[in-house]
Amino acid sequence: MKFNQLKALLAIADAGSIHEAARLLHLTQSALSKSIKELEREVGTELLVRSAKGATLTECGLMMIRRSRSIEKEMGRMWEEIGSYRGEVGGRLTIGHTGPAATLALAEAVAEFVRKRPMVKVSVLEMRGGQIAEGLRNGTLDLGLVSQYGEPDTDLCWRKMLSHETMLVSGPRETPETTLEALIDEPWLTLDPEDDAESCISTLFAHYGLTPPSRIVRSSSVTLYIQLAVRINAVMHWMDAVRPSFERYFEQGSMTRLVLPHDMPKLNVFLQYRDQDLLTASAVEFVDLYERGCARWSGRTAESFLKVEMAS
C-alpha cells in the first residue's frame, strides 16, 4: 500500500468523481483509476462504487478514508518535525478546548509559547467535548483541553490538570435553601446537550437516583449563556471560580447561590491527546508550559478564570 494510492482515494472522496479528482491531482483519469484498482486488489475488496454520476465509497472505503486522513495529518507533522531538525522554526499547533477550560493557565501558556516560538502557527479553538475527541482522532487537533465531571471514558490519553468546586445558582428567591427534588420542575439553563451523559445535570441527578429536569434552555454559546444568566430566572450549575464575576448580582438579590444538603460534583479539566509518542516538539513544549501554569494557579481557582464583563 503506497501513500500516493491513499492520496488518490482521498482526492476521489473529496471531489466526488474520478474525473474531477484526476483533474485536481493533474493526472489522467486512466492513471488514477489504475492506482485505485491496484489498491483494491491489494486490500481484497472494492473501495468505490462507480456509476455515471460519479464514485461513492463503500463501507471499507469510508473506513480507509478516516484512517487515511489521520495518516495524512501525521505525514504533515512528520515533515514539520524534520524541519525542526534542520533548524527550521515554523510548524503549527492546534488546540481544542471546551469553554470552562479557558483558564488563565491556558492564556498564559499560549502567550508564553507564542513569545518563544513566534514562527509557529497557533490555533486555539473553543469546541464541544465530542468535537475535540474527533479532532484528536482524525489528526486535525494536536491537543485537547476538556472540562467534565468524573474521569473521561475514552481511548485517548489524558491527564487531569485542574479541579474546580461547583455550585447551583438561580434568580431571586425568598430563601436559598432547597433540594434537588424541589428543583426538578424548575427551568434550567445549560451549555450541555440534554443527551450528554457527562453533563452537569445528567451527572448530578444520576448520582442521587433522580429524574433530571425536563424544562431546559440550552445555549451552546458561552457568551450568550452569560447574557441569559442575568436575564432569565433559571437554575444554573457553575464553577465556584466564576463567583467573583457575579458577586454584585448576589449582593443585589437578582441572583441567588443555592444551598443544598447534597454534595456538588467537581468539574475537572483534562489534557487529552492521541499518543504521547506522536506529539510534535511544539505540542510537547506547550504541554510543559501549560502544566507549569496549572501548578501556579492550583488552589487559586477563584482567580483563575478569564473575567467576563457582564452587561448591566
Closest by alpha carbon to 168, among 222, 97, 242?
242
Same domain flag for 18 and 156: no
Where does a domain end: 35, 69, 103?
69
- Specify the pTM: 0.68
> What pLDDT does residue 89 have?
57
CA–CA dist 101, 147 (Å, integer): 6
Same domain flag for 245 and 271: no
Most confident of 29-43, 85-99, 123-137, 292-306: 123-137
Tens of pLDDT, residues 250-283:
999 999 999 999 888 888 999 999 888 778 888 9
CA–CA dist 41, 56 (Å, integer): 18
Those residues whose C-beta lies under 8 Å from the C-beta of residue 63, and which sit 6 or more positions away, are: none
> Residue 197: inside a domain, yes or no?
yes
Same domain flag for 273 and 151: yes
CA–CA dist 40, 99 (Å, integer): 44
* Segments forming the whole domain that contains residue 229: 166-257
> What pLDDT does residue 84 have?
65
Tens of pLDDT, residues 77-125:
677 767 766 665 568 899 999 888 888 899 999 999 999 989 889 999 9
The model's confidence at residue 65, banded by pLDDT at 50, 70 and 90, is confident
Same domain flag for 102 and 185: no
Q: Which three cell numbers stand for residue 20?
A: 474531477
Are the beta carbons of 80 and 92 closer than 8 angstroms?
Answer: yes
> Residue 114: inside a domain, yes or no?
yes
**Count of structural domains within the chain:** 3
> What pLDDT does residue 90 have?
62
> Residue 262: inside a domain, yes or no?
no
> Residue 82: inside a domain, yes or no?
no
Alpha carbon 241 to its chain centroid, in Å, reads: 21
Are the beta carbons of 77 and 112 closer than 8 angstroms?
Answer: no
Closest by alpha carbon to 241, among 166, 147, 168?
166
Same domain flag for 148 and 275: yes
Are the beta carbons of 258 and 169 closer than 8 angstroms?
Answer: yes
Are the beta carbons of 307 and 117 closer than 8 angstroms?
Answer: no
Q: Which three cell numbers stand for residue 21?
A: 479528482
Tens of pLDDT, residues 134-192:
999 888 899 999 988 878 888 899 999 998 888 999 999 999 999 999 999 999 999 88
The domain spanning residue 56 has which CATH number? 1.10.10.10
Same domain flag for 238 and 175: yes
Are the beta carbons of 55 and 17 closer than 8 angstroms?
Answer: yes
- Return the higher-pLDDT residue of 62 and 299: 62
Q: Which three cell numbers stand for residue 47?
A: 473501495
Same domain flag for 26 and 157: no
pLDDT at 4 over 50: yes
Q: Where are the alpha helices (DSSP H) in 159-214?
A: 180-183, 200-207
CA–CA dist 16, 279 (Å, integer): 33
Q: What percent of the chain has pLDDT over 90?
A: 30
Which CA distances in Å does 199 have to 118, 196, 204, 221, 272? 37, 5, 8, 16, 18
The model's confidence at residue 246, banded by pLDDT at 50, 70 and 90, is confident
> Residue 154: inside a domain, yes or no?
yes
Q: Where are the alpha helices (DSSP H) in 86-179?
A: 104-116, 129-138
Report the relative pairing of strands 92-97 and 143-149 from DSSP bridges.
parallel
Q: Is the dihedral of CA 16, 19, 20, 21 positive or negative?
A: positive
> Residue 144: inside a domain, yes or no?
yes
Find residue 272's DSSP bridge partners: 144, 158
Find residue 271's DSSP bridge partners: 145, 159
The domain spanning residue 239 has which CATH number? 3.40.190.10
> What pLDDT does residue 312 have?
39
> What pLDDT does residue 309 have?
41
As a whole number, mean pLDDT of residues 40-66 equals 83
Same domain flag for 147 and 275: yes
> Residue 311: inside a domain, yes or no?
no
Same domain flag for 205 and 172: yes
Same domain flag for 170 and 249: yes
Same domain flag for 174 and 37: no
CA–CA dist 188, 214 (Å, integer): 8
Q: Which amino acid appears at position 142 of this protein?
A: D
Same domain flag for 156 and 227: no
What b/e string do you get for 123-135 counting C-beta neighbours within 10 Å, with b at 16 or more? Answer: ebeebbbebbbeb
Q: What is the DSSP letter of 190?
A: E
> Residue 38: inside a domain, yes or no?
yes
